[in-house]
């Protein structure tokens, strides 16, 4: 079986490297190693942090992208998942660093390398229209609002958002029934149950589902704990949580997630192609898989 290279649009790091504070050399190392897992394009994702640290992280990722060589997963831009969220659905993010959703506040961290921004649309004070003018992907996440009419996508469906309701509106419900937006989902078997995955895959058009790892720097490392958005995160070998048990990101890379979905008969090869359409990009290369969806070979042309 041959497919396109994988694109990961939502992950915070791996191999012990955290995009919020990584050096250029660490990012280059990560982008080279991650290609071995069939991931040919990445959107390093910045978690809520100070304005200064956020700006430094974006600058460092952008500079690393400039220095990349052909044997690395291409850095396609930054996913900013932080600062403009709803405290009610903060997850493990530090709500003390959240800012009102205004154009002026966004300009504090603005950079042309930011390609995706996760926001709470119900708190918008003019930011959505500004991001739209800039052709930035606007994703609803860490929020409760049901009006996603100005969004292009939803961030990690069901997680850190208002759940499905049979009265009124909610983020999860709107994400499912709005065929115009793409929907991220963490299908690692921990963040979303198989029943909820069935619901999502039956409800959403198959060409609007984006698999993500949302993986932490702990992934593929020996780390058992780390600081993430000013919060200590603990990894027990199965899941990563804060001290109070709140789930943080996953510890699975996309090929792990694909193999799991295949094992429960919920994988559609279209899921690999969807990020290409969402971002209107192309990558030269392919993955050869065996009949059990183990990677045989990764070729980047």
pLDDT of residue 151: 98
| CB 74, CB 30: distance < 8 Å | no
CATH architecture designation of domain 2-300: Alpha-Beta Barrel (3.20)
39: part of which helix (H) or strand (E)? Answer: strand 39-47
pLDDT tens digits in sequence order for the chain, 301 residues long: 999 999 999 999 999 999 999 999 999 999 999 999 999 999 999 999 999 999 999 999 999 999 999 999 999 999 999 999 999 999 999 999 999 999 999 999 999 999 999 999 999 999 999 999 999 999 999 999 999 999 999 999 999 999 998 888 999 999 999 999 999 999 999 999 999 999 999 999 999 999 999 999 999 999 999 999 999 999 999 999 999 999 999 999 999 999 999 999 999 999 999 999 999 999 999 999 999 999 999 999 8
- Backbone phi and psi for residue 258, each to the nearest 5 degrees, phi listed first: -60, -45
Point out which residues pair with 299 in neighbouring strands: 286
Whole-angstrom distance, CA of residue 132 vs CA of residue 38: 31
Domain extents for the chain?
A: 2-300
Return the sign of the alpha-carbon dihedral for residues 63, 69, 75, 77.
positive
- Say how many Å lie between the first and final Cα of the chain, rounded: 18
Please answer whether residues 81 and 152 qualify as being in contact, where contact means their C-beta atoms are separated by less than 8 angstroms. Answer: no
Up-side HSE of residue 118: CA atoms within 13 Å toward CB?
35
Q: What dihedral do alpha carbons 153, 159, 164, 169 form, nearest 10°?
A: -50
Enter the tokens of residue 128: 């959505």
Q: 128: how many CB neighbours lie within 10 A of its CB?
A: 21
pLDDT score of 149? 96
């Amino acid at each position: 079986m041959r497919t396109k290279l994988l694109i990961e649009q939502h992950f915070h790091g791996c191999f012990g490297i955290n995009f919020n504070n990584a050096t250029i050399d660490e990012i280059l190392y990560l982008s080279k190693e991650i290609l071995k897992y069939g991931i040919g394009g990445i959107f390093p994702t910045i978690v809520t942090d100070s304005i200064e640290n956020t700006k430094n992280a974006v600058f460092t990722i952008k500079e690393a992208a400039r220095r990349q060589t052909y044997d690395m997963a291409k850095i396609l831009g930054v996913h900013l998942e932080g600062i403009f969220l709803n405290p009610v659905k903060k997850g493990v993010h530090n709500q003390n660093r959240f800012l009102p959703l205004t154009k002026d506040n966004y300009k504090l961290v603005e950079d042309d390398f930011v390609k995706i921004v996760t926001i709470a649309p119900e708190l918008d004070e003019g930011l959505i229209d500004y991001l739209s003018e800039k052709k930035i992907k606007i994703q609803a996440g860490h929020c409760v609002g049901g009006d996603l009419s100005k969004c292009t996508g939803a961030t990690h469906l069901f997680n850190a958002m208002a759940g499905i309701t049979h009265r009124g509106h909610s983020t999860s419900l709107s994400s499912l029934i709005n065929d115009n937006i793409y929907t991220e989902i963490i299908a690692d078997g921990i963040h979303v149950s198989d029943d909820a995955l069935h619901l999502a895959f039956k409800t959403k058009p198959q060409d609007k589902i984006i698999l993500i790892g949302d993986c932490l720097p702990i992934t593929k490392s020996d780390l058992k704990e780390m600081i993430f958005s000013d919060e200590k995160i603990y990894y027990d070998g199965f899941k990563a949580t804060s001290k109070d048990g709140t789930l943080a990101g996953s510890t699975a890379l996309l090929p792990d997630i694909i193999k799991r979905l295949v094992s429960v008969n919920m994988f559609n090869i279209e899921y690999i192609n969807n990020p290409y359409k969402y971002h209107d990009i192309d990558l030269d290369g392919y993955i050869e898989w065996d009949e059990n969806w183990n990677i045989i070979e990764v070729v980047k042309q």
